[in-house]
Amino acid sequence: MTDIVVDRRARERFPLGLWGMAMLIATESALFAMMIGSYFYLRFKNAHWPPPGIPEPKLLIPLILLGVLLTTSFPMFMAARSATPKLWLLLALILQSGYFAMEVHEYAGNLAHFTPQDHAYGSIYYTLLGADHGHVAIGLLLNAWILWKLLFGMTAYRRKALRAIAFYWHAVNVLTLVVTLTVLSPAFA
């Protein structure tokens, strides 16, 4: 007990890079919690939500898109573990890019109906969704970056990066689930 025996082959199950990512996810989750809190705060301050003149959010397409995004957790999970992560990554990247393109299209389409400058409803709607899409966009860049790195072979460092990015994607997927259900919530009632 009085001395350390250093086993140089020992590898931490949860390396420092993942701890760093966990810290990022913790603080980003708090950020989204605050935004979702503001959404409901503003909602309960208003008698009509959405206010008259603004259509209720449509359910079908956003829910399908959400489903597509959530399935990408599986290829990301496999990519972090498998010996051939590139194919899994590519599959995830295609699905995620499709999701992102469709969401940007939806976002622009909504702007034709109502804008963030009309009412606080629009302000929080577009800010919340915009923040979420921003996180997806950063995830796409991370994925593209690690895929490019992996073209030059796998190292222990890249494996850690891959695991951290997969961790990020799982968190973004959960955040997107909560954010999407929040902005769709007026249509459920």
Partner 1 sequence: MTTTVTERVERLERQWAERPGVLGWLTTTDHKRIGLLYFWTTLVFFGAGGVEALVMRTQLVQPNNDIVGPEVFDQLFTVHGMTMIFWFIIPMTTGAFGNYLVPLMVGARDMAFPRLNALSFWIFVASGIFLYVGLFSGFGPDAGWFNYVPLSTRHFDPSRNIEMYTLGLAFNSIASSLTAANLIVTILKLRAPGMSFNRLPLFCFAFLAASFGLIFALPSLSVDLLYLYLDRNLGFHFFDVAHGGSTFLWQHLFWFFGHPEVYILIVPAFGIATEIIPAFTRRKMLAFPLVAIAELLVVFIGFGVWAHHMFATGLPTVTLVFFAGATAMVVIPSTIQVFAWSMSILTGRPRFRTPLLFIIGFIVMFVAGGLTGIMFLAIPFDQQVTDTYFVVAHFHYIIFGAAVFPIFGGMYYWFPKVTGKLYFERPGQISFWIIFVGTNLLFFPMHIVGLLGMPRRVYTYPGDMGWTSYNLIESIGGYVTALGIVVLFANLVVSYFRGPPSGPDPWHGPTLEWSVPSPPPEYNFAVIPVVSSAYANWDHDDRERDGHRLTAGVGVLERGHEQHVSSVVDGWTSEIIDMPHSSPWPILLAASLSVMFTLLIVQKFVYASIFAVLIGLTLLGWHGKEPQES
| 3-class SS of residue 120 | helix
Closer residue to partner 1 (CB): 73 or 97: 97
Closer residue to partner 1 (CB): 26 or 64: 26
178's tokens: 């909560």
> Cα separation of 165 and 162, whole Å?
5
Q: Which of 153, 156, 188, 189 binds partner 1 (CB under 8 A)?
A: 156
By CB under 8 A, tell whether 157 contacts partner 1: yes
Query: Could you tell me the smallest distance in angstroms from the CB atom of residue 1 to partner 1?
Result: 8
Residues 35-54 that bind partner 1 (CB under 8 A): 35, 38, 41-42, 45-46, 51
49 contacts 184 by C-beta, under 8 angstroms: no
Query: Could you tell me the smallest distance in angstroms from the CB atom of residue 14 to partner 1?
Result: 9
Q: Which of 90, 127, 174, 184 binds partner 1 (CB under 8 A)?
A: 127
Q: What are phi and psi of 155, to 5 degrees?
A: -125, 170
146 contacts 95 by C-beta, under 8 angstroms: no
E-assigned strands of 7-113?
none
The shares of helix, strand and coil residues in the chain, as percent rounded to the nearest 5, are 75, 0, 25
**Residues 6 or more apart from 120 whose CB is under 8 A from it?**
42, 46
By CB under 8 A, tell whether 121 contacts partner 1: yes
- Interacting residues toward partner 1 by CB under 8 A: 1-4, 6, 8, 10-12, 15-16, 19-20, 23-24, 26-28, 30-31, 33-35, 38, 41-42, 45-46, 51, 116-124, 127, 145, 155-158, 161
